[in-house]
Structure formats: C-alpha cells, structure tokens
Chain A
Amino acid sequence: MDQILALIVVLPLLAAPLCLLLPNGRAPWVVATATTWLVFCGACLLLNDVLANGTQSYALGDWPPPIGIEYRLDALNALVVFIVSLIAAVVTPFAGRSIASEISAKQINLFYVLYLLCFAGLLGMAMTGDVFNLFVFLEISSLSTYVLISLGRDRRALTAAYQYLMMGTIGATFFLIGIGLLYATTGTLNMADLAQRLPEVEQQRTVLSGFAFIVAGLGLKAAVFPVHLWLPNAYTFAPSVVSAFIAATATKVAVYALVRVLFTVFGVNYSFGALPLQFVLLTLSVIGVFATSLLAIRQNDAKKLLAYSSVAQVGYMIIGVAMGTVLGITGGLTHLFNHALMKGCLFLALGAVMYRLGSTGVTAMRGIGYSMPWTMSAFVIGGLSLIGVPLTAGFISKWLIVQAALELGWWWLAIVVLGGSLIAVIYIWRLVETAWFRAPDAGPNQLKEAPLSLLIPIWILALANIWFGVDTRWSLSVAEQAATTLLGGGP
C-alpha cells in the first residue's frame, strides 16, 4: 500500500519511454490511457488513506528525510494529486481521436511520450516534500509542456511555445535561485525541516530575498496577474487536448506549490504577518480578475476567451488563499478543484468543436448548437459553473470566498468577486448566444455531432460540475481539512 506513493509518479515516467518504443498508431494511446486510469485508482486510494489516517511519508531509496528525498502526502496534496489524475483519466481517452485529427501521424507516439512526462512531472510536484525535487519536477512538466504547445496545428503555436519557454524558464530560474538562498542559510532542502529551521534565521536578508524569488517564480508559473502574459497564447494555439489538460492541471499545481511554500515552509506568520504579501497578492488578484475578465469579452477566439478567463479564475484562487483564514483557504482550494472541472469541461467541448469544425473562432461557431447539441449543452453547463450559478460547482467555491471576505469584514472584496462573475456572464453569454441563438451560416450544413468517444469525457466533467455543486459534503470536507492542516503549522 505505501509503495503507491512512489509508484504513482513512477508509472507515467515508465510509460513515457515505453510509448517511444511502441509503433505509431493506437498502441501509445492505449498505454497512456491505461496508465492514467491506474494512477487515478492509486490517487483515490491515497486520498482515502490520507483522509482516514493522516499524513503519509515515503523515503525514496530508504534514505530517511531530511537527507533523502521525501514524498509527503497530507490532505492538501492528496487533493491536488487526485485532481491531476482525475483530469488526466478523463482527458486521455478523449485524446485518442482528437490528437489523431490535430497532429501529424508520425508525431503521435511522441505526443504521448511528452504528455505522460508532463503528467509525471505534475504528480511529482504535488507529491514531493523536498523543494529541490519540486524544482526538478517543475522542469520536467514545463519542458514537456513547451513542446506539447508547439505541436499545435497553427504555426503561431511555435511563437506561443517560445514565449512560454522564455517566461517559464525565468520563473523556474527564480524559483531555483530562491531555493539556493534558503539552502545557503539553513542547509536543508526538506520542506518540513526548512519550516523548523527558518524561524531562527528569518530576519536575515538572504531569507527575505529567497522568499521573494520563490514567490515571483511560482507566481509566474501559476499565471498570477500581471505575470500571466504567456498563458493566453499558449492555451489558444496548443492542441485541444493539451489546452484542456494544462488549463485544468498545470496552473493548479503551481498554485499548490505557492500555497505550500507560503504556509508550510515559511508559515502564515512570516508570509502574511511580517511581510506585506497579503496586500500585494490581494491587490494584484483584484486587478487581475477585472482586467483579464474584461479582456476575455473582446476575444474572437473561444479558446483565447477561456484562456483569459483562466487568469481571472487563478485570481479568485489567490484571493481565497491570500485571506489566510481557514474559510478563505477552503474557498480557494475548492475553487482550485472546481475550476479544474469547469475548465476541463469547457476546453474539451471546444476540442470537440475543433474536431468537427476545424476552428474555434467565435464567428465560425454560429449556430453550432443545432448541429452539435450534446457538445454545446455540456459547454453551457461548464459555462454556468464558470459564472457561478447556483447548483453548479462554481457557485460553491465563489460563495465560500464571498463568505470568507464578509467574515473578515472586507465587503469590497465580496463585491469584487461578484463583479467578476457578472463579467463572466457577459463573455460566456456571448459564446452561448453565438452557438444557440444565431442562424448557422448559409450553405449546406454538413456538421455532425461529435463522436461518442469525445462526448463521454466531456459529459463526465459536465456532470461532475453539477454533482459537486449539489453534493458538497465530500469536496468541502477535504478542502477544509487541507486548510486546517495548512494553518496548523505544517503537516
């Protein structure tokens, strides 16, 4: 049982070189699907175990921490591992047909190699209890993401990938510099050990600059406003499956890493007490929510519209987390989970549109609801959840964030969250109106509904959006437990 902790990361890492050796065709897809499902089962078992028995620790190579690398799983990262593997388990079956239609046949096994490496990197980031190991996995996931984005059919995918490569490398380097500074002062890389040793030296300027570097680096990776500039193009020009996968997982894992550093390694007293980070994060997020939501309205490509909305949603997560109360963090973490569900659903629906229509331009999608009713109904559900309509998952998390703001007496913050949702109504409505209330373009309409292999994954996520909007016992209790562990001074 305890070996699952390591195997969950190693399995995709093993499947990736296997895919390289397999002949092109369906075989790599079968291997990738089987891997993601196995990992998902493992993640469910682990989450159950952690919720029942508390924090799990695994010493790689039997080298006891803090000297060896430790995998440390508490309610927070068990939840993140669960989210990442859930999305992968849903997205990979979808990839079979979608990828075959979007990238050249010769590159298909290479796609699955990169996809599995990215998956392994994200899982590793979520799993590890060692900051340097976190950096290594961050690089594994980032490098594979750059290439995955560049596989997009549009040649602009290359510039988008290059832009992300530049910004992502700066982010990763900042993170590494920060780790180096912390290591220089404390002599340890283990998170729990760092948390113990940092209070003695936290007055030193080295620690302060290390903190600044780490927060800036991870903020860049999480696409926190105003360092989100790589994100819109990357999500727009990547292959549909890649957009869906990284939109639902990559920024979430980076947000997790940021939360982990702020609360577990440095502790809330240092991050928000001794330093004005709370003010900085809140201000930036509030501006970010409005600016990027307004930008989303003006986009002419549905994928880009959703990409801008993603930056705004990251803003909500940061707002929740930056409040620093149990309720606020619970809200932020629930939003992290729910946003993975809604963006996964929306991007997959656009993937189905791309499969049939060959484009995700807003004008091209006129009247598409009539020819692809199932796809676009799921899109509407995802959209409602994104807005935060009651009975969808998005409502729950925004409600929690508003409640947390009111608990602190910050009524202006509650207004910001509600205002941002109103702007979301505008941009989602624009897509819904184009798809359902406009007459299709003249001429013979040959468009058919997406095949079942694409519809099933979309609808799994659409129904999950409703399920977690109605029955919140499970998602809320996990998020609350995670928030309590975070504020309890580390696992």
Chain B
Amino acid sequence: MQHHLILRVVTRFVLPFILLFALYVQFHGDFGPGGGFQAGVIFAAGMILYTLVFGLDNATRVVPPSALRVLMASGVLLYLAVGFATVLLGGNFLSYDTLAENAKDGQHYGILLVELGVGITVTSTMIAIFYVFVGRNLPSDDTRAGS
C-alpha cells in the first residue's frame, strides 16, 4: 500500500472520525440506538481499516496481540464485576438498582459499565480474529515478536 497515496491520506483523515463515532455509539447507547456490541464492531472496523492500509506490522505496534488477550478477558470481567457488585450490595445478580442511591441512576451506571465491558471484548475479539486471518502464515505471537 506504499504507493496508494490517496488511500493513505484519506484513511488518516477518516480514522479519528470512525473511532469517535464508535465512542459515541458506545456511550450514547443508553439514550439512543447503539450499545457495546455495535460500538465494538465500529471501533474494530476502524482498526481493520488501519491494518489494511498500513500493514499488520504497524497495526500490531498500535495494538499488540498480547494486549488484545488482556482486553478480551477484562471486558468480560468488567461485566461480571458489575454483577458481583450488585450481589454484594444486596440485590440479585445484575440488579442495577442497588448501584446508586436511587434506582434510576443505578440502572444508568449499571448499563453503562456492562456495555463498556461488552464493547471492550467485542473490539478486541474482532481485531484478534482479523489478525489471525491476515497473519495466517505467522504461526503465533511469540515468533512474530522475535522476527
């Protein structure tokens, strides 16, 4: 892609907007259409575009596969942590009402955190799947880091 000047410039121009839109979908999801899954997919699509244009080596410098693994797990853990917090606060599992003084705020915080967890896991999983497809000839993370 070294010679495709227009593609590179346009990608650089569009990329911040894609990521910003992903964040908008993520954090506005409790008032409008959107949510963690959709936002995660949009965010990952931005990263995939970056990988397509600038190559896998650059992409793995931005988001290394080892970080993806941690992110994948931590998204789920964040989700479950909210669940456990509600149990500790005396409600049923994922009963957001208990998270704040009044139920309305509780529901708000709860869904925000849970969807953030979903978003993190979806983003990192999508990117990881794409890395595997693109780097099919590279046996594993370890050899790639060494080469």
- Total number of B residues with any Cβ neighbor in A under 8 Å: 20
Q: Which residues of A contact B96 (CB under 8 A)?
A: 61
Residues of A contacting B73 with CB < 8 Å? Answer: 17-18, 20-21
Q: How far is the CB of B124 from chain A (nearest CB, A)?
A: 11
Question: Is B93 a contact of A10 with CB atoms below 8 Å?
Answer: yes
Number of A-B contacts (CB under 8 A): 50
Contacting pair A6 B93 (CB below 8 A):
yes
**What is the number of residues of chain A that contact chain B, defined by CB distance less than 8 Å?**
17
Bound form: Cα–Cα A10–B83 in Å: 9
Contact B77 A61 (CB under 8 A): no
CB of A136 to closest CB in B, whole Å: 14
A300 to B12, CA, bound (A): 61
* Dominant secondary structure of chain A at its interface with chain B: helix
Asked if B76 contacts A17 (CB within 8 A), the reply is yes
Interface string of A4-44 (1 = CB under 8 A from B): 00110010011011101100000000000000000000000
Contact yes or no, B72 A59, CB < 8 A: no
* Interface set, chain B 62-88, CB cutoff 8 A to A: 69-70, 72-74, 76-77, 80, 83-84, 87
Q: Is the CB of B74 within 8 A of A62?
A: no
Check if A60 sits within 8 Å of B92, measured CB to CB.
yes
Q: Considering the chains assembled together, what is the distance between the CA atoms of A7 and B96 in angstroms?
A: 16
Is A3 within 8 A of B77, CB to CB?
A: no
Tell me the bound Cα distance from A13 to B73 in angstroms. Answer: 11
Closest A residue to B121 by beta carbon equals A17
Residues B91-135 near A (CB distance < 8 A)? 91-97
Asked if A112 is an interface residue, CB under 8 A from chain B, the answer is no
| Whole-angstrom CA separation of A13 from B121 in the bound complex | 14
A58 proximal to B (CB < 8 A): yes
A14, A20, A61, most chain B CB atoms within 10 A? A61
What is the minimal beta-carbon distance from A32 to any residue of chain B, in angstroms?
Answer: 15
A residues with a Cβ closer than 8 A to B are: 3, 6-7, 10, 13-14, 16-18, 20-21, 58-62, 106
**Which B residues contact A (CB, under 8 angstroms)?**
69-70, 72-74, 76-77, 80, 83-84, 87, 91-97, 140, 142
What are 21 inter-chain pairs, A to B, with CB distance below 8 A? Answer: A3-B92, A6-B92, A7-B87, A7-B93, A13-B76, A14-B80, A17-B72, A17-B73, A17-B80, A18-B73, A20-B69, A20-B73, A21-B74, A58-B92, A60-B92, A61-B92, A61-B95, A61-B96, A62-B97, A106-B140, A106-B142
